Amino acid sequence: MAALSPHVLVVFVAVLLLATATTTRCHRHGRHHRHAAKGDAVAAAAATLGVTDINAICRTTPHPDSCLASTAVHLDAAAEKLVASSISVQLLPPNILSVALASLRGALSAVSSLSPVLSSALSAPPPSSPPGASPLRRGAAQDCLELHAATLASLSRSASLLASPGEGLPSVRAHLAAALTNKATCLDGLAGASGPEMDGLLASLDDAYAHVTNSLSLVAGRGDSDGGGSAASFAAAVAKIIHHNRRLLEDIGDYSDNGGGDDDDDNNNDKTVVITVAKDGTGNYRTVGEAVAAAPNNSATRTVIRVKAGTYEENVEVPPYKTNIALVGDGRDATVITGSRSAADGWTTFRSATFDAFLTHAGVSGEGFMARDVTFRNTAGAAKGQAVALRVNADMAAAYRCGVDGHQDALYAHSFRQFYRECAVSGTVDLVFGNAAAVLQACALVAKNPVAGQSNVLTAQARGDPNEDTGFSVHNCTVAASPELLASAVSTRTFLGRPWRPYARAVVMDSYLGPLVDRAGWVDWPDAEAGRADTVYFGEYGNGGPGAATDGRVGWAGFHEMGYDEAAQFSVDSLISGDEWLAATSFPYDDDV
C-alpha cells in the first residue's frame, strides 16, 4: 500500500474522528431513554434516603455533626438538583452523591456567612487600637478577602461539577483542596495579629470550613477506576486538541498585535488576542501589568502577552477574571520580570510575589495560565526571609523553559494542578513550596547560598488533609549547586524536602542528584507536632548521581524507596490528570515514569 502524504493523513484522521463522533451520537441517542431512566433512578434513590443511611454516611466524615446539619437543611435541594440534571454517568453511589451535594451546599452557605465577619475583622483598625492588639502584616487583609472570594468560587464550581453528567471527580477534589489551602494561607497571614475580633474570626473560620473538609472526604478516592475521569472527559480532551490546532510553539510572529481590550463580557471569538509589551515603546504597552489589565475579561479564548527582551521592574497580578492568558518572552535569559517584596519588609509571603497568577478556574476552553521563555525574579536577598518570585494558584497552569529565581520561597505552587517543564528554579530555603499538585519535569533545581547557619531545602509541601490529591513530583530533573554555593567556603547542607503540613507529599524520580544533597535526604519541619514523620509521604525512585544513594536516608515511616507502581502514582497523568489538558498547551511532557 502506498504511503499517505501528511496532508491526506490529517484529512483521514479528521474524517475518522468525525465518523466516530457521529456513531457515538447515534449510539447515545439509542440509549437516551435508558440514561434518562437511570438518572431518574439516581435522583429517586437520593430523595428516599433514610435517617439511618444519612447517619451512617455522616459518621464517616471528619465532622459528623456538621454533616448532619448540612443534610437537615440542604438534602431536599440536593435531590432536586439531581432530578434537574438527570445525571446518567454516576460518579458516586446515589446516597453518597446526594449527601455530598448537601454538604457542598452547607459549605457554600457557611463560608458565605463569613463575608461580613471577615470584612469587619479585617477592616482598617481605628486610629487608637485597643491595648494589646497587634497589627496585620501588609497585604494580610487583602489576602484573606481575595482567598475568601476564591473559595466561594471553588465551592460553587465543585457543586456544579459534581451534579454535571460525565464530569470527573479529580476536578471536584482539586477545587476543594484549593479551598482548604485558601483557609490555611489566610491564617498564615493573620499569624501574630490579635485584637477583640480576631479570636471570633478564627473560630468562625474553623466552623465554616468543617463543611469543606466533610465535602472533600465524601468524594475522596471514589469513582476513579478509569484513572481520573469518565469517557466524557476523554472526549473533551480530544475536542480541546482539535480546537487548539494553533499551537503556541508555532511561530508567535504569525499572530498580529490587536491590543486586547477591556471587555467585561465573555469573549467567544475564536481569534487569539495578542498584546505586545516592549520597554522601548515599540509594542502596545511598556509594562506587563498594563498588558494584563488590557487583556479581555473572562475570555474563552487565549490571550497571548508577548513580552520582548528586557528587565521589567514591577509586581504583576493576573486576577481571577483574566482567564486564558499566555505569557511569552524572548527567552528566560532575555525577558525578566523582577521585584523585591519580602517578609522582612512587612509583606505576607502570599503578597510578596513578583508575579502571581490567581485564577480559580480555567477558562471555557479548558486552558489555564501559561508561561514560556520568561524569568520571574525576586531580588530581596537571602537575609530578607520569605520573598516569592512566582506564585501560581491557577488550575491547569503550565510553564515551559521559564526561570524562577529568588532565595527563600522562590516558587509558590499554591494550589490546583500545575506543570513545569524545562524550567530553571533557583533559591535556598523551601525553593518550591505550597499545596498544589505540581509536576516539575526536566527542570534544573539550583541551590544558592543561604543565610549563615541555614540549610537549603528544595521542597516544602503543605498537604494538610489526607484526602487532598496534592503533592510535588520532581521528575527527570537535575539538582545542582549554583556557582556561588560551589565557591563558598561555608559547608551548607541541602535537603530534598521537609513537611510544611502533616500530610505533605513529595517525590523525586529519575533525577540526577549532585553531591550537594545531604545523605539524610529529608529533614524535619521545626517545632512540628509529634508523629509528622509518620504521616508524610516522601519518596525516591530511579535517581542517579553522587547524592542519590539512599542507604543514609532518614528512617521515617513516611519515607519510601518506591517501586514502579508507587512511582507511577506521581506521574503527569496520575497526579495532575495531565493527559486530559497538557496536549492543548503544546508543551512537551512525559506521561509515565
Q: What is the pLDDT of residue 135?
A: 63
Tell the burial category of 277 from Cβ atoms under 10 Å away from its Cβ (0-12, 13-18, 19+): buried
Whether residue 265 has pLDDT greater than 50: no
Q: How confident is the model at residue 381 (pLDDT cuts 50, 70, 90)?
A: very high
Let me know: does 505 contact 461? Beta carbons within 8 Å: yes
Which residues have CB under 8 Å from 203's CB, separation 6+? none
Is 313 in contact with 376 (CB distance < 8 Å)? no
- Give pLDDT tens digits for 166-182: 567 999 999 999 999 99
Which residue would you say has higher pLDDT here, 6 or 389? 389
**Domain segments of the chain: what residues?**
64-124+134-219, 273-584
Average pLDDT for residues 354-369, to the nearest whole number? 66
Q: What nine digits make up the cell of 460?
A: 516544602
Strand partners, 305: 275, 327
Q: Is 527 a catalytic residue?
A: no
Query: Would you place residue 17 in the very low, low, confident or very high pLDDT band (cuts 50, 70, 90)?
Result: very low
Which of the two residues, 4 and 203, has the higher pLDDT score? Answer: 203
Global pTM reads 0.86
Nearest in space to 97 (alpha carbons), one of 151, 32, 165, 177? 165
Please report how the helices 140-162 and 169-190 are oriented relative to each other, as an axis angle in degrees rounded to 10: 160
Q: Pick the catalytic residue: 356, 373, 430, 465?
A: 430
How many CB atoms neighbour CB 271 within 10 A? 11
Per residue in 402-419, pLDDT (tens digit) is 999 999 999 999 999 999
Q: pLDDT per residue over 283-302, tens digit each?
A: 999 999 999 999 999 888 89
CATH topology of domain 273-584: Pectate Lyase C-like (2.160.20)
pLDDT confidence bin for 199, thresholds 50/70/90: confident
Active-site position among 409, 465, 469, 573: 409
Q: What is the pLDDT of residue 360?
A: 58
Is-catalytic flag, 430?
yes
Instruction: Report domain 64-124+134-219's class.
Output: mainly alpha
Residue 508 region by backbone torsions, left for phi larger than 0, else alpha for psi between -120 and 50, else beta: beta
Look up residue 87 and give its DSSP letter: -
